[in-house]
Amino acid sequence: MPKNAAIEQEDGYGLQISPPNRDRLNSVINPSSPPSGLFIAGEWVETRERIPVLQKYTGETLGTIAAAGPDHLESAVAAARKAFPAFARMPAHQRSAILEKASLLLRAHQEPMAKWIAMETGKALKFARLEAERAADTFHLSSQEACRIHGETLPMDAVRSGEGLLGFWQRKPLGVIAAITPFNFPLNLVSHKVAPALAAGNTVVLKPSEVTPYSAAFLCRILEEAGLPAGCLNLVHGAGSAIGSALVEHRGTDMITFTGSAAVGKAILARAGIKRTTLELGNASPVVIAEDADLRRAAAKCALGANYCSGQVCISTQRIYAEAKIAEAFMELLLEETARLKVGDPLDEVTDVGPMISEREATRVAAWIGEAKMDGARVRHGEERKGAVHYPTVLDRVKPGMKVVDEEVFGPVVSVIPCRDFPEALRQADDSRYALQASVFTRDIERAFRAISDLGFGGIIINDTPHMRPDHIPYGGNRQSGLGREGPRFAIEEMTRIQMIQFRTAYPN
Ligand code: NAP
C-alpha cells in the first residue's frame, strides 16, 4: 500500500479513517509506545547511555531514551547536510503535501499525543489536547506557507545606476537548521521550528528538552510516515549543557532557532558565531486592569492565565496592575476565580492545574514567595506545595526589586499591584527588561489605543490575557525576550535568505 493511502481528507479539517486503515496507521505510529532512539538519516538509533523520562505527577519512570554522544551529533549534522540539496530542490507543492499529511496524522492521533504530553510535562490533559490540536494547525499553516514563499521584481530604473536592468529577488532556504526547544510545549514549540524549516526547504537537527522528549520523537515518526525523505529531520537527545551546546557550536549548521530561558539564550548568542540566530525567551507578563473593565471577566481570564500549565508558559499572567479605585474589588474576584481551579492529577478530566516540571522547580517558586514575604509581600491565596505540585498563589504588597516582580516566575504565582491611574499602570507594566506580550482590560477605546502606543512589547492583547497565541500570528519579543519572530510565515522569513538577481537588458548611453 502506498504511504498515506490510509488518510482520506474530507474537508479542510475533517478526517475519515476506516477501521482497518486506523489499525494500520496505529501500528506504524504506535501511539502506545513512543520511539526511544535517536533519529538520524531516517534510522532509529539506540545508544547504551540512557536518560530516564518521568511521569511528572506520579514520579514513575515512563521509559528511557537514548543519549546522543559527539559521534551521533556528527552523524546527525552530516545527514542533514547530505539531505539538504535534494530537499531544497523538491517542488514546493511536494513539501507542502508532506506537511499537510503530517498535520492530518497529528489530528488522527490527537488523543494519544495529548496523553503523552500530559504525562511528560504534567500539563492538564484538557490543555494537552489543545496543544496537540495546535501542533496539527502549525503543520497545516506551514504546509500552506510552503507554496507562498516568493520575492518580487524591483523598479530598477528608480535610480540612474539601475537603468537597463531587470531586477528581482527570491528567497532561498538557509541550509541546516539547529532547533533547540524547551519542556513546556514539547509538541507545538517543536512544530513551530520543524514545520516552517521544512516548508522552506531546509533540513533540521532537533534537540528537544531531555525531560520531555517523547512528543518530539512521535513527531519524527509521524513525519517519517508522511513521506519526509531520510536525513531531512534528525533528532538528538541529551543535556543542553552537553549536546545542546555542541550543536550550537557546530560549524555544519546554518542557523540556530532556540526557545527557552533568557540565560541560556544569552549563552547561545555568545557562542553561535556568525550564524543566523533566533531566540524566543521569557517574559514577566503584565496585565493592566482599567477602572472601566469588565472585572468579573478579567478576573476569570487572569486566574486561568496565571495558572495554565502551572504558570510555566512564557506568556503566563504574572504582574497585574489595577487602577486603585477597582484594585480591591478586582482582587476579591480574582481570589474567587483562583479558588475554583482544580489542582491534581493531570490525567483527570476535571484537573486545571497539574504539577510543575519537577519538585526542584516547585521548591524554587516557594523560595521566591518566601523571599517576597520577608520583604513585605502578602499572600492572599495559596502558597502550599506538595512535591512538584505548587498551588495557585496570589500576592499583593509586592514591589520592584522582588524576584516575583522583576524576574520570570515561571510558576503559578500572580501579584496584584494597585496604581494611581491608568497611565501609571501602563508605565509600571512597561518597566521590565522583558517585552514579549502584555495585555489590557478596558472598554474604553482611547485607553486601548494609549496602551498600544505606550507598551513596547512584541504583542499587545486587549481584553484577554497575554497568553493568547493563535499559531499564525507574528510572535516574539523585544528587549531580553528575544530576537526574531515565529509563526509559520514569519519563521520562514527568518529561515530563508534573500538572493538578488540583476539582468542587463539594455546598455544605456
Ligand atoms: P531552558 O532551560 O533554557 O532550556 C531550553 C532548551 O535549551 C532545552 O532543550 C535545554 O536542554 C537546552 N539548553 C540548556 N542549556 C543549553 C546550552 N548551554 N546550550 C544549548 N542548549 C541548552 O528552558 P526551559 O526550562 O526548558 O523552558 C523554560 C523557558 O523557556 C522559560 O524561560 C520560558 O519563558 C521560555 N519559553 C519561551 C517561549 C517563547 O516562545 N518565547 C516559549 C516557551 C518557553 P535540557 O533542558 O534538555 O538540558
Return per-residue pLDDT of the chain as tens, 509 residues: 344 444 444 433 345 566 666 776 676 677 788 899 999 999 999 999 999 999 999 999 999 999 999 999 999 999 999 999 999 999 999 999 999 999 999 999 999 999 999 999 999 999 999 999 999 999 999 999 999 999 999 999 999 999 999 999 999 999 999 999 999 999 999 999 999 999 999 999 999 999 999 999 999 999 999 999 999 999 999 999 999 999 999 999 999 999 999 999 999 999 999 999 999 999 999 999 999 999 999 999 999 999 999 999 999 999 999 999 999 999 999 999 999 999 999 999 999 999 999 999 999 999 999 999 999 999 999 999 999 999 999 999 999 999 999 999 999 999 999 999 999 999 999 999 999 999 999 999 999 999 999 999 999 999 999 999 999 999 999 999 999 999 999 999 999 999 999 999 999 87
CA dist 307 and 46 (Å) reads: 37
* Ligand 1 atom at minimal distance to the Cα of residue 248: 20
CA dist 415 and 382 (Å) reads: 12
CA dist 486 and 494 (Å) reads: 8
| Helix/strand/coil for 48 | coil
Indicate the DSSP class of residue 43: E
Alpha helices (H) along 122-276: 125-146, 188-199, 214-225, 245-249, 262-272
CA dist 495 and 499 (Å) reads: 13
* Ligand 1 atom at minimal distance to the Cα of residue 481: 41
CB 434 within 8 A of CB 480: yes
Annotated active-site residue 232? The verdict is no
Indicate if ligand 1 lies below 6 Å from the C-beta of 459.
Answer: no
Cβ atoms < 10 Å from Cβ of 246: 18
* Ligand 1 atom at minimal distance to the Cα of residue 486: 40
Indicate if ligand 1 lies below 6 Å from the C-beta of 210.
Answer: yes
Classify strands 459-462 and 15-16 as parallel, antiparallel or unpaired: unpaired
Cα-to-centroid distance, 265 and ligand 1 (Å): 8
Indicate if ligand 1 lies below 6 Å from the C-beta of 103.
Answer: no
Q: DSSP labels for 218-238?
A: HHHHHHHHTTPPTTSEEE--S
CA dist 83 and 60 (Å) reads: 39
Indicate if ligand 1 lies below 6 Å from the C-beta of 318.
Answer: no
CB 123 within 8 A of CB 160: no
If one residue of 51, 56, 138, 180 were mutated to test the ligand 1 pocket, choosing by the most ligand atoms within 8 A of its CB, it would be: 180
Annotated active-site residue 147? The verdict is no
Indicate if ligand 1 lies below 6 Å from the C-beta of 408.
Answer: yes
128, 135, 234 from 147: Cα distances, Å: 30, 19, 24
Q: What is the predicted pLDDT for the residue at 16?
A: 55
The arrangement of strands across the sheet holding 459-462 comes to: 378-381, 393-396, 413-419, 319-323, 286-289, 437-441, 459-462
Buried b (16+ CB within 10 A) or exposed e, 417-454: bbbeebeebbebbbebebbbbbbbbbeeeebbebbeeb
Indicate if ligand 1 lies below 6 Å from the C-beta of 183.
Answer: yes
Q: What is the predicted pLDDT for the residue at 33?
A: 86
Indicate if ligand 1 lies below 6 Å from the C-beta of 264.
Answer: yes
Give the distance, in angstroms, between the CA of residue 312 and the centroid of all CA atoms in the same chain.
12
Which residue shows C-alpha cell 517542488? 91
Domains of the chain: 38-46+66-281+483-496 (3.40.605.10), 286-474 (3.40.309.10)
Q: Which of 467, 476, 470 is nearest to 494 (CA)?
A: 476
Cα-to-centroid distance, 12 and ligand 1 (Å): 34
Handedness of CA 186, 187, 192, 195 (dihedral sign): positive
| Helix/strand/coil for 94 | helix
Q: Which of 348, 352, 351, 346 is nearest to 118 (CA)?
A: 346
Indicate if ligand 1 lies below 6 Å from the C-beta of 181.
Answer: yes
131, 233, 308, 428 from 230: Cα distances, Å: 27, 7, 37, 51
Cα-to-centroid distance, 443 and ligand 1 (Å): 37
Among residues 232, 302, 309, 314, the one annotated as catalytic is: 314
Among residues 225, 280, 291, 493, the one annotated as catalytic is: 280
The values of phi and psi at residue 253, to 5°, are -110, 155
Q: Which of 223, 289, 299 is nearest to 442 (CA)?
A: 289
Q: DSSP labels for 321-381?
A: EEEHHHHHHHHHHHHHHHHH--BS-TTSTT-SB---S-HHHHHHHHHHHHHHHHTT-EEEE
∠ Cα 380 281 234 (to 5°): 130
Cα-to-centroid distance, 187 and ligand 1 (Å): 14
CA dist 195 and 226 (Å) reads: 13
CB 177 within 8 A of CB 257: yes
End-to-end CA distance of the chain: 65
Give the distance, in angstroms, between the CA of residue 158 and the centroid of all CA atoms in the same chain.
42
CA dist 10 and 13 (Å) reads: 7
* Beta strand ranges found along 23-150 (DSSP E): 38-40, 43-45, 50-54, 61-66
